[in-house]
Each structure stands twice: as structure tokens, then as C-alpha cells.
């Protein structure tokens, strides 16, 4: 498709919150089943889907559930009979789902979840950080981070295509930063249902094993020590290979709809000496900081990680190969880890296992929704530069912006 054709596509542009964008995306891909237990800041996703079903805009079954544990169980079961299933949650809701998160990925059910990220209790806090999504890091789900409302929408449409791909067959979680994306109104370009269903097409029933009385199978039986290990090894291979599919799907999306997605997004990286790596909506802030620093002549770039699991290690190495120093912004912590930044730990391992030595700085910021601003990112940049001048990586994570610690 040529650029002219892309431009000629008639696009409806509306104003929408991230929550509504998530709900609209489920309408476009014509989900069959939604089971969502309401929790702040995700509630409007459930409300909007219920509204669309009531209006006849979306022909889906809504399963009223009494908890998130049941919501996740219901979508796993719906997916097991071949339905296109969707759920959404936040924070404590995700923790209550936790047991079934592993079951969804291990039973290889292509369910999609929108996760409006929110800090974990205690103390109870409804604002944005990535404590919840990081807690599902090791559950075998594919995890896509969104930077804007448009990305929430595009990611959910792509998520079905990725999840249901025969080489993948894994659940996908799409994040939207609590309040920052979930409740903020931004411009949103819609895709028509026809276009969306042509892209994220529904595959013929039976292309993957589903429950069917005419061809009975057992899903979820016991596996004894003689085969459990092999089943896990196969699952590891599936998520390892998922990166390739995520890339193909993102490119095809770009060809059709004009917005191309990759596993990560480098920005101003070409001659950069220092690079800042971040996730989700924080990336916009880092881009703004890079713009401001570039005007002052600083050789700085940034990388946004879009695909968090499986971690795009090879892609990252390619873009940060030539930089001197790397700062990683984490909005979550791994308690008791040698360095507490979860994304930082992935990046440190990626470099170390390839024998690449770089000056690394781990920053934690914004826990429990504490805002950071462009000037804060600039302060972090200056700190990285100071370490680079001294020629040493700090051994410990820097807790940026916490009262009582100097940066």
C-alpha cells in the first residue's frame, strides 16, 4: 500500500480517554466475551463495553463476575471454547487474578487484558505506577506498554492478532498508565470494524485445540513429572518466538493504518552518548526532556520499550551499542534485588550476557503516582552525566524524588 493510499483512508478522529479507547478497540475487533470486575482506574472500560453491548453496537456476552479471580477464570474458559475474550483490571485486581494468570498462559489461551496500571497496596493508593504490571512480568504473558491513548487502542487491536497467531497462542496484556492515560482525553483515530476485522481476522474454529463435544479434548489435566518439564519448555519457546510476530503485526498495522509499531522505539539515538530508557507514558516526558537537552547541545537520546515481555534484548543491543552511558527509569521496584529497578535488571543482564560493558544508572521514580516533570528527567540526565564523568556506575538504585534522599 502506497503512502497516498494510506492518506486517502477516511479516518474518524474523536476525543477519548484511554479507558474508552480500550473499550472501542474491543468493539472494533468484535470480541465475543467480556468478564470484567470493576476497579479504579479501569472502571470505564467495563462501563463502556456494557454500554456498547446494551446499545447493540457490540454483540458480546458480558459475564457478571464476583471477583477478578472469577473474571480471569471466565475469560480463560471462554477462550477454551474458541471465543475471543477480553478482560481488564488494575492493581489489587491483578493480584487477585494472579493464580489464573499463569493458567491462562500455560494453557496457551489467547485472551487479551487491558491493565490500567496502578500502585499496589499497602498503603492503599489508586494512582499510577507499574507495581502491578511488573508483578505479572514472570507469568508468561506477552506485555505491551502504551505511551498514548492512540497506542492503547492500536495495541489492543494488534494484541488479538498476536495472541491468536498459531506460532504464539499466548495471552497479551496491554497497559495504560492509570489516570495519565486511562482518564486523560487525547485525540484518537478510529479504525472501522471492517478494517479491524480484516487485520485482526477471526480464524476458523478448530485452528487451535478448543473444547468441542464433537471432538473432545481435555484442557488443564494433571501433568506428572514425566512431561511437565517438556510442556513448560514448549511454552518458553512460544514466548521467545512471540517477538517476531509482534514485529510483523506492528509493521503490517503501519502499512494499513499509517502507524507502524516495533518492539521498541528509539528517539534521537544516532549520535547520542547518553541514553535514557523508559516504559509507557513516562516515555513522552523523556522525549520532551531529550528535546530540551538537545537544544542545549547535549548528545542525549531515549529508548521506549514497547514490548516488555518477551524482552527485546537483540533490538535493544542494536540501538544502544554505541552509547557511553545508559540510564533506566523504573516506576516499580523489585524488593531485595541487587538493584531495585526491574527494567534496569533486564537491561543489565542483556548487556552482561553479551559481554558488553556500559555505564549504567538505575533510577526509580514516581511510585504511587508521584508526578515527575521534564525538569526531573533533566536532573536525572545530569546525574547520569556526572557518573559518566567520574567513570563509574553506581552500585545502588537511585530513588529519585523521595523525601530524604539527595539527587
Binding site for another protein (CB under 8 A): 106-109, 169, 208-209, 215-221, 223-224, 227-231, 233-235, 237
Instruction: Give, in order, the Cα–Cα distances in Å from 320 to each of 41, 313, 326.
Output: 35, 11, 8
Judged by beta carbon, residue 172 or residue 191, the one nearer another protein is 172
Judged by beta carbon, residue 234 or residue 375, the one nearer another protein is 234
Judged by beta carbon, residue 123 or residue 225, the one nearer another protein is 225
State the nearest-atom distance from the C-beta of 229 to another protein, in Å: 8
User: What CA–CA distance (Å, rounded) separates 401 from 370?
Assistant: 9
Q: Which of 368, 399, 401, 371 is nearest to 124 (CA)?
A: 368
Judged by beta carbon, residue 28 or residue 164, the one nearer another protein is 164
State the nearest-atom distance from the C-beta of 127 to another protein, in Å: 37
State the nearest-atom distance from the C-beta of 169 to another protein, in Å: 7
Judged by beta carbon, residue 217 or residue 352, the one nearer another protein is 217
Look up residue 262 and give its three cell numbers: 516495533
404: left (phi over 0), alpha (psi -120 to 50) or beta: left
Look up residue 84 and give its three cell numbers: 475471543
State the nearest-atom distance from the C-beta of 3 to another protein, in Å: 40
Judged by beta carbon, residue 216 or residue 336, the one nearer another protein is 216
Angle at 258 between CA 318 and CA 24, to 5 degrees: 110
> How many other C-beta atoms lie within 10 A of the C-beta of residue 397?
21
Q: Which of 94, 141, 136 is nearest to 116 (CA)?
A: 94
State the nearest-atom distance from the C-beta of 377 to another protein, in Å: 43
Q: In the β-sheet with 300-305, what is the strand arrangement from edge to edge?
A: 264-267, 300-305, 274-279, 325-330, 359-364, 398-399
Of the CA atoms within 13 Å of residue 210, those in its CB half-sphere come to 20
Judged by beta carbon, residue 168 or residue 343, the one nearer another protein is 168
> How many other C-beta atoms lie within 10 A of the C-beta of residue 45?
32
User: What CA–CA distance (Å, rounded) separates 319 from 362?
Assistant: 19
Judged by beta carbon, residue 21 or residue 238, the one nearer another protein is 238
State the nearest-atom distance from the C-beta of 164 to another protein, in Å: 13
State the nearest-atom distance from the C-beta of 226 to another protein, in Å: 8
State the nearest-atom distance from the C-beta of 221 to another protein, in Å: 6
State the nearest-atom distance from the C-beta of 239 to another protein, in Å: 13
Judged by beta carbon, residue 76 or residue 303, the one nearer another protein is 76
Look up residue 240 and give its three cell numbers: 521467545
Rg (CA), the chain: 21
> How many other C-beta atoms lie within 10 A of the C-beta of residue 212?
12
Judged by beta carbon, residue 56 or residue 216, the one nearer another protein is 216
Per-position DSSP letters for 282-307, written without gaps between them: HHHHHHHHHHHHHHTT--EEEEEESE
State the nearest-atom distance from the C-beta of 192 to another protein, in Å: 33
Residues 6+ apart with CB under 8 A from 253: 154, 157, 158, 199, 259, 260, 261
User: What CA–CA distance (Å, rounded) separates 289 from 272?
Assistant: 14
What length does the chain have?
407
- How far is it between the farthest Cα atoms of the chain? 70
Amino acid at each position: 500500500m502506497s503512502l497516498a493510499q494510506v492518506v486517502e483512508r477516511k479516518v474518524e478522529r474523536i476525543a477519548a480517554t484511554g479507558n474508552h479507547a480500550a473499550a472501542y478497540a474491543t468493539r472494533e475487533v468484535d470480541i465475543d466475551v467480556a468478564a470484567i470486575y470493576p476497579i479504579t482506574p479501569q472502571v470505564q472500560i467495563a462501563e463502556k463495553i456494557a454500554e456498547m453491548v446494551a446499545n447493540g453496537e457490540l454483540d458480546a456476552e458480558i459475564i457478571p463476575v464476583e471477583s477478578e479471580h472469577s473474571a480471569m477464570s471466565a475469560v480463560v474458559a471462554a477462550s477454551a471454547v474458541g471465543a475471543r475474550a477480553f478482560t481488564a483490571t488494575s492493581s489489587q485486581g491483578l493480584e487477585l487474578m494472579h493464580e489464573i494468570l499463569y493458567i491462562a498462559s500455560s494453557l496457551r489461551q489467547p485472551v487479551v487484558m487491558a491493565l490500567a496500571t496502578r500502585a499496589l497496596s499497602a498503603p492503599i493508593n489508586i494512582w499510577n505506577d507499574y507495581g502491578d504490571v511488573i508483578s505479572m512480568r514472570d507469568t508468561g504473558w506477552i506485555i505491551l506498554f502504551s505511551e498514548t491513548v492512540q497506542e492503547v487502542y492500536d495495541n489492543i487491536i494488534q494484541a488479538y492478532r498476536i495472541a491468536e497467531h498459531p506460532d504464539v497462542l499466548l495471552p497479551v496484556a496491554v497497559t495504560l498508565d492509570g489516570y495519565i492515560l486511562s482518564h486523560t482525553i487525547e485525540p484518537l483515530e478510529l479504525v472501522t470494524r471492517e478494517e479491524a476485522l480484516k487485520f485482526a481476522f477471526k480464524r476458523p474454529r478448530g485452528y487451535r485445540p478448543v473444547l468441542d463435544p464433537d471432538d473432545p479434548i481435555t484442557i488443564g489435566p494433571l501433568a506428572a513429572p514425566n512431561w511437565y518439564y517438556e510442556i513448560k519448555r514448549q511454552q518458553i519457546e512460544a514466548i521467545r518466538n512471540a517477538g517476531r510476530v509482534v514485529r510483523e503485526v506492528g509493521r503490517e498495522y503501519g502499512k494499513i493504518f499509517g502507524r507502524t509499531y516495533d518492539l521498541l522505539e528509539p528517539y534521537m539515538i544516532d549520535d547520542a552518548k547518553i541514553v535514557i530508557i523508559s516504559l509507557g507514558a513516562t516515555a513522552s516526558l523523556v522525549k520532551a526532556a531529550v528535546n530540551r537537552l538537545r537544544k542545549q547541545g547535549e548528545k542525549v537520546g531515549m529508548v521506549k520499550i514497547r514490548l516488555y515481555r518477551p524482552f527485546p534484548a537483540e533490538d535493544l543491543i542494536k540501538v544502544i551499542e554505541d552509547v557511553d552511558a545508559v540510564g533506566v527509569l523504573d516506576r516499580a521496584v523489585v524488593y531485595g534485588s541487587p538493584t531495585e529497578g526491574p527494567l534496569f535488571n533486564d537491561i543489565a543482564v542483556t548487556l552482561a550476557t553479551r559481554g558488553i560493558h556500559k555505564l549504567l544508572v538505575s533510577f526509580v521514580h514516581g511510585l504511587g503516582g508521584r508526578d515527575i516533570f521534564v525538569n526531573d528527567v533533566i536532573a536525572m540526565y545530569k546525574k547520569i552525566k556526572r557518573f559518566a564523568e567520574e567513570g563509574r556506575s553506581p552500585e545502588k538504585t537511585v530513588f529519585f524524588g523521595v523525601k530524604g534522599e539527595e539527587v
